[in-house]
Chains A and B, each alone.
Chain A
Amino acid sequence: MVVTAFDMLLCLTLVWLAWYVLASRDPFRAVVLFISFGMLMALGWVRLRAPDLALAEAAIGSGLTGALFLSALRKIAGTTKEGRRLERDEEI
């Protein structure tokens, strides 16, 4: 297994994204970052030669969980300050 510069970049980007998901105060932004995190994580599994996990991560971890989060965000919109802002943003 050769660790390429791309792998290094991928690892650092994953940690950086994970940090931004945790630190983000805007739930919508956190969800979008979480979805990107899942996509890059799937790439990471491919690099670790685990294509099964990569498929599952992309489809369930990123796609379906992201859709569930977005739908949950929509349902709680209006109950929080961020939610109200989210609703206004969608109207524009």
Chain B
Amino acid sequence: MVNPGRKRLSPAHRPWPLLVLLLLFFVALVWVYLVPGSAPGGLARQVDASLAASGVRSRVTAVLLNFRGYDTLLECFILLLGVMVVWSQRSAVTTEPRQPAAGAILASLERLLLPLMILVAGYLLWAGSSQAGGAFQAGAILGGAGVLLLLDSSPFLGILPRKALVWGITLAPLFFLAVGVAALTLGRPFLTYRFQEASLVIVALEVAAAFSIGLCLATLFAGRLPGYQVGPSQGKPPAKRGE
């Protein structure tokens, strides 16, 4: 973007110590990557050896949802925590509506892109069991579709019943936790699957995770709690629906 009015970078404000750190980090990374033997072999062999028992054919998905399912469970909860923190910011303002002209262009863009984005998200979700893709990538695309809708100041998050939104966001963490606890009650270690049902459980988890992640990311972009009025009633909790 050409912008002659913007100030030139002044060298006095450049953080030189950061540059040194950056270069040191760069050299270390190049060293680890290029010099043979400086990086240990990793766990690739172990993963390959037990891939057949994981229920999926993609190594990454096997690690994320089977071998290290615990990490993914925590990641789901971290996203939930992020949304909770954003919602606790009562004074956060919402994105103001755009000019009608921008709205027209955005609206036609949405009509073109939204179906495609949902299709790509579905494909990535399905492809995740055998190749690159998976819940996080599909969720990110869904989140992007949500952001596109929000940019057009489409109040789809506000129209959704609050309860549906909250359940949608907590779906993946709760489902993940339920799967883990179910294994415990059946006398197996936390978050382990039986071989016969591993594929089914992983795909179900991925669908739930993609949905929740997409909703979480769109909600994060929306900022404040939908339906909460900033104004005279500030400080008062929003009226709860359906209670």
A interface residues with partner B (beta carbon < 8 Å)? 3, 11, 15, 18-19, 22-26, 29, 32, 51-52, 54-56, 59-60, 63-64, 67-68, 71, 74-75, 85, 89
Contacts and interface: CB of A to CB of B under 8 A. Distances in A.
A19 B220 contact: no
Interface string B102-145: 00000000000000000000001000000111101100110110
B19 interface: yes
Given A29-B6, A55-B132, A63-B140, A22 B18 contact: yes
B22 A15 contact: yes
Given A32-B1, A59-B140, A68-B220, A15 B23 contact: yes
B119 to A, nearest CB: 15
Interface stretch (B7-15, B177-185, B231-239): B7-15
26 contacts: A15-B22, A15-B26, A19-B18, A22-B15, A22-B18, A22-B19, A22-B22, A23-B9, A23-B13, A23-B14, A23-B19, A25-B9, A25-B10, A25-B13, A32-B1, A55-B132, A56-B136, A59-B137, A59-B140, A60-B140, A60-B143, A64-B143, A64-B147, A75-B223, A85-B6, A89-B6
Interface of B: 1, 3, 5-7, 9-10, 13-15, 18-19, 22-23, 26, 30, 34, 60, 92-93, 95, 124, 131-134, 136-137, 140-141, 143-144, 147, 217, 220-221, 223
B6 A55 contact: no
Q: At the interface, is chain B mostly helix, strand, loop or mixed?
A: helix
Nearest to A16: B22
B205 to A, nearest CB: 16
- The interface residues of chain A, by DSSP majority, are classed as helix
B32 to A, nearest CB: 12
Contacts of A3: 34
Nearest to A25: B13
Nearest to A88: B5
B137 A56 contact: yes
Contact of A55 (B1, B10, B18, B124): B124
A52 B144 contact: no
A59 to B, nearest CB: 3
Nearest to A74: B95
Contacts of B93: 75
Given A26-B7, A60-B143, 8 more contacts: A19-B22, A23-B9, A26-B6, A52-B133, A54-B132, A56-B136, A64-B140, A85-B6
